[in-house]
Structure 1
């Protein structure tokens, strides 16, 4: 059963401007080591790569109903790739706790994530499914 959905649209130029203005300070505050490494491997599309991940963080925070409050922080939400290459989330701290709190007893949460971009926009959709154990 679907227990939550979330979406976000992020302007790539806004992320590019933040990178130019704040540099590593911005990246270290918002993105995980894995996300920064992925973006660094794509120097011509770094801002777009980070914008999609920023949108995923926002979409997840909307799906779980907290935004970035009540212990859910941006760095607790990391976009990683499954072996197939499909994007998914690695959650820690308050983000993992909030997901556990909204998952019905006797179920496990499965997070589905899709990312896309078409300059100047990056977009993410999250569907959180509860699967019976």
Structure 2
């Protein structure tokens, strides 16, 4: 049973402007430790890819927060929600701490799609409730 659906579109130029204004602090606020390491690696080699990586993660976390119905209220935090990927490249939501406990207590699963073009990153998230009372 569908628990919630979330979508988000993000202007990559807005993310670039935030990085210029706030430096690494902006990325450190939004990204988990694993995501931050990937962002730093990509930014060092291809600055534009680093910005798009950050924009897709920002967009995916916004879409997820909408799908679970919390927005950016506890236990949902930027860093407790991570966008990982399977060996196939498929993006997946990886949760940590209180958000993981909240999500698992409700027997929820998430499905995520992300995309980016030159100026925009977009994400779509469907959250399902599993189990007999779904």
Distance apart, 1:129 and its partner CA: 2.0
Other-structure match for 1:86: 90
Distance apart, 1:84 and its partner CA: 1.7
Deviations 1:19-45 (A, max 9, x none): 112112111111112212222333231
Distance apart, 1:119 and its partner CA: 2.1
Calculate the TM-score normalised by the size of structure 1.
0.86
> Is there any run of 5+ residues in structure 1 with no aligned partner, and where?
none
Q: Superposition RMSD on alpha carbons, in Å? A: 1.7
Other-structure match for 2:124: 125
Other-structure match for 1:114: 113
The answer to whether the 8 Å contact 2:3/2:68 transfers is no
Alignment partners' CA distance in 2, 1:50 and 1:95: 21
Q: Report runs of 4+ in structure 1 exceeding 3 Å deviation.
A: none
> Is there any run of 5+ residues in structure 2 with no aligned partner, and where?
none
Alignment partners' CA distance in 1, 2:108 and 2:69: 15
Deviations 1:40-65 (A, max 9, x none): 33323111111010011111111111
The answer to whether the 8 Å contact 1:73/1:94 transfers is no
The answer to whether the 8 Å contact 1:72/1:93 transfers is no
Moved more, 49-58 or 33-42: 33-42
Any idea what SS the aligned residue of 2:126 has? Answer: strand
Match of 1:59 among 57, 63, 85: 63
Alignment partners' CA distance in 1, 2:33 and 2:116: 22
Size of the aligned set, in residue pairs, is 128
